[in-house]
Structure 1
Amino acid sequence: MSELSIKIGQLIRKKRTENRLTQESLALQCGIDRSYMGRIERGEVNITILKLYEIAKILKVDPKELLPS
């Protein structure tokens, strides 16, 4: 796990909970498995830029809000 992946996952989880979405509902809207969404949030996988943009769109945030400063 890279430090960057962990921080991105934490930001995705934070925005998801702020939007009152479950991992399952976010994963379903993204077209991925819930367990994979969990791995993203834990920073266990490197997601593509396309997937980051897709998640941001569903969370109604600018993609840069999911990137650490």
Structure 2
Amino acid sequence: MPIRPKTAPKAGRPKGARSFDEIVAKQLGATTRERRLDSEMSQEQLADASGLERSYVGRLERGGSQPTLLALLKLAKGLRCEVADLIGPAEKAFRKRK
């Protein structure tokens, strides 16, 4: 029979834990920008096609934000590509770094 702790664990991430990775964010942003320019779309057009805010698309392209899974799905839909096409280069950058 498992023993239950007397106090509940603290909610949230442990101190010092980070989920933002600048290298991954910048690579994902560069890939997104490249795909958008290849499609001859403006940031505003991509935002409209994706259902995202234009300022958020700009922040993603600059590597200032890391998108959620839902945002990645929306971006891929707006760019008419697969999510794997967007995150493949970012994954390679991540693996190279570690």
Q: TM-score, normalised by structure 1?
A: 0.89
Q: Give the AA of the match of 1:52.
A: L
Q: 1:26-65 counterparts in 2 under 5 A?
A: 26-65=46-85
> Superposition RMSD on alpha carbons, in Å?
1.3
Unpaired segments ≥5 residues, structure 2:
1-20, 93-98
Q: Considering Cα pairs closer than 8 Å and 6+ residues apart, tell me whether 1 or 2 has the greater RCO.
A: 1
Q: CA offset at residue 30 of structure 1?
A: 2.1
Q: Give the AA of the match of 1:24.
A: E
Q: Distance in 1 between matches of 2:50 and 2:80?
A: 13
> Which one has the largest radius of gyration?
2
Partner residue, 2:41: 21
Residue deviations 1:14-57 (CA, integer Å, cap 9, x gap): 00011111001111222222121110000101110111111111
Identity over aligned pairs, percent? 35
Q: Which of 27, 52, 71 does residue 7 from structure 1 map onto? A: 27
Q: Distance in 2 between matches of 1:10 and 1:24?
A: 17
Q: Distance in 2 between matches of 1:56 and 1:48?
A: 12
Number of residue pairs the alignment of both structures matches: 69
